[in-house]
Structure 1
Amino acid sequence: MTLTQLNILKILIETESFTKSAEALYITQSGVSHSIASLEDELEIKLVKTNKRTVSLTEAGEKVYIAAKDILTGIDRLKEEISALKNLRTGNLKIGCFQSVSVRILPGILKEFKRKYPGIEVSWFEGTDLEVTDWLLKGAVDIGFVVLPAEGLETVPLLEDKMFGVFPEKHPICSRKSIGIKELAAEQLITFKGSSCGMLITSNLMRLIKDANEIKHIEARNIGTIVEMIREGIGVAVIPELAIPLNYNGICSVPIRPEIKREIALAAHSFNNLSLSARAFVEITEKFIEKFKAVPSKNSIF
């Protein structure tokens, strides 16, 4: 039994004529007759009664006809749903991101994504970059922003994010054009807790300083908390450029030399197996990042 056979039966009963059904289906009249006969042979029961002028159904034919209509209607509905999905009129997308991406990058991407695909329901979850990596590995989110390397995931590099020393605005270093990372060992350092950024700064300092006990640091999770602590003179920090507030009084940022960078990427278990909505998000993100990188950095000394 095939969908073609069921459709021919449906059209035959609706037109009540082998000739008219053949014309509607663009096949020969003998083709219609052969299809009905094959279906009856397979089911081992008569489905259609015919005379010179009319076509009608047997009791078994009535049951098959009703089922055929339901099956064919379901197939049409399925095709419409698949078509809608291909055109991204409906769907769901879960995104993982860390705070600086949430503030500086994600809003612009989501604005464009929602403009193009208003029917896609988007949820995003914010944590540290290490938490986002864990969410991706566990399948809690479809796609996420991570800091490379991200073991166990496929990635698409997006941009490099330079590190800056951030100080209270009256700190003597604010008047300088750059600062060496080793100089920060003498400061009360505030680092990002549970993130690769904090680990990156600590590892760079460890390579330069023999005694780890010389590094004085406290940890905080929130960018706003760290900036407020700096502004109040509690300590200084090394902060990625994306994480530094664009408009904030009471602090200054100074480039670190030689440069220390982190590389931000999109990550997923497998880009080949991404949903259509996730693939669309990747495409929009890559285009947005190209425009974003073309804009001159606003990070100078505050």
Structure 2
Amino acid sequence: MRLEQMEYLISLAETGSITQTAKYFFMSQQGISYSIQQLEKELDVKILHNHRNRVTFTAAGECVLVRARDFVKQYQELQEELQSFQKDKTPSYKARLFLYIDPFMANTFLPRILKKLHKQSKIKLATKEQNLTLLLQTLSDPSEVDGIGLVGLTEHYTTEQFKQKFDFEPIHSCHLQVLVSETSPLAKLPALSFEEIAQYPICLFASDYNSEEVGKDLFFGRTVKNLSVILQTTNVDMYRDMVNKNIAIGLTTDYLESFFHKSSLTGIPLKEPIQFHVGFIRRKGRPFSVMDEEFMAIAKDVLNSQLAKKVSQ
């Protein structure tokens, strides 16, 4: 019997749903089901009845659930009692922090944030990577797991319609750029227009975008016809390689350009500048918890240190 299995059972009792439990723990439904099956095998009893839209506990399962609640409660109490004996006085938290994050932030800044978080904090972080459109839908949906987002937003997210649904705390503002190889003829141009961008194959550091969403999320809702997106990837090396070999152009910002400066890539400004805001987003009216604030302070430190490196280059 493992602690996480006990936590799954408690969540299943509260929600009656493997789907909701999987969302809460940022796992697949198959992962939750397999874990419970392993527990049933270990205890040699059937714990759950699976119905079409819900799960219920068997008589044996109800007994296990009582013990699970006691086990988790005693574990949490033990953690609190032992804090006075621990050399590390860093605050610990019972709950998880759920972070929704867009692909670029997840694959560039997040590893650095996690490294610092591991050294300085006891926050239990669960992350879910989504493109911006899906991320905003998730944050605004009350049935989804409550959390905060770490994203890059273009100008139209400062509109009144956006402000009615979300609170956004910017960390830094920058500008959208076109990423090209230094060997490309485009590298000699002072700036590019939307029409010129549409003439070239595009590689996006993203996933699950359609052309309409690209215009909405990246070009501030401007109509850019006939965009040719030939690859969407969250693999940094593949993205760099596509641009470096002049197979496609990329889209980035002057804030994130430092991730590519060692790859013989360069950023070209847009003739019609689009401002880009990096920061934290939450559902309207949702307060930041102490745990949120601690995580945000660590993340801001990482982001600002990266900005300082760019300025010094």
Aligned to 1:114: 118
Maintained 8 Å contact 1:129/1:145: no
Distance 1:178 1:94, change over 3 A: same
Aligned to 2:107: 103
Distance 1:105 1:216, change over 3 A: closer
Larger Cα-atom Rg: 1
TM-score, with length taken from structure 1: 0.56
Maintained 8 Å contact 2:148/2:281: yes
Maintained 8 Å contact 2:132/2:217: no
TM-score, with length taken from structure 2: 0.54
Letter in 2 for 1:285: A
Shift of 1:266: 0.5
Maintained 8 Å contact 2:203/2:232: yes
Maintained 8 Å contact 1:146/1:264: yes
Aligned to 1:183: 196
Shift of 1:223: 5.5
Letter in 1 for 2:252: I
Aligned to 1:206: 223
2:175 maps to 1:162 = yes
Maintained 8 Å contact 1:166/1:254: yes
The 5-angstrom pairing of residues 35-184 of structure 1 reads 88-91=91-94, 92-117=96-121, 119-138=122-141, 139-140=144-145, 142-148=147-153, 149=157, 152-184=165-197
Letter in 2 for 1:116: Q
Shift of 1:128: 1.6
**Identical-residue share of aligned pairs (%):** 15
Maintained 8 Å contact 2:179/2:249: yes
Letter in 2 for 1:134: Q
- Residues paired across the two proteins, number: 216
1:259, 1:226 → 2: CA distance? Answer: 23
Maintained 8 Å contact 2:107/2:235: no
2:187, 2:302 → 1: CA distance? Answer: 32
SS at match of 2:310: coil
1:253 to 248, 263, 267: 267
Shift of 1:144: 1.3
2:278 maps to 1:264 = yes
Structure 1 unpaired stretches of 5+: 1-73
Structure 2 unpaired stretches of 5+: 1-73
2:246 to 216, 224, 233: 233
1:223, 1:261 → 2: CA distance? Answer: 25
Distance 1:251 1:294, change over 3 A: closer
Maintained 8 Å contact 2:215/2:222: no
Maintained 8 Å contact 1:182/1:205: no
Distance 1:203 1:160, change over 3 A: closer
Distance 1:294 1:142, change over 3 A: same
1:234, 1:187 → 2: CA distance? Answer: 9
SS at match of 1:186: coil
Aligned to 1:282: 296
Distance 1:137 1:254, change over 3 A: same
Maintained 8 Å contact 1:223/1:243: no
Structure 1 vs Structure 2 CA RMSD: 3.8
Maintained 8 Å contact 2:243/2:250: yes
Distance 1:137 1:284, change over 3 A: same
Maintained 8 Å contact 2:180/2:267: yes
2:262 maps to 1:222 = no
2:222, 2:216 → 1: CA distance? Answer: 10
Shift of 1:203: 5.7
2:300, 2:285 → 1: CA distance? Answer: 14
Maintained 8 Å contact 2:240/2:260: no
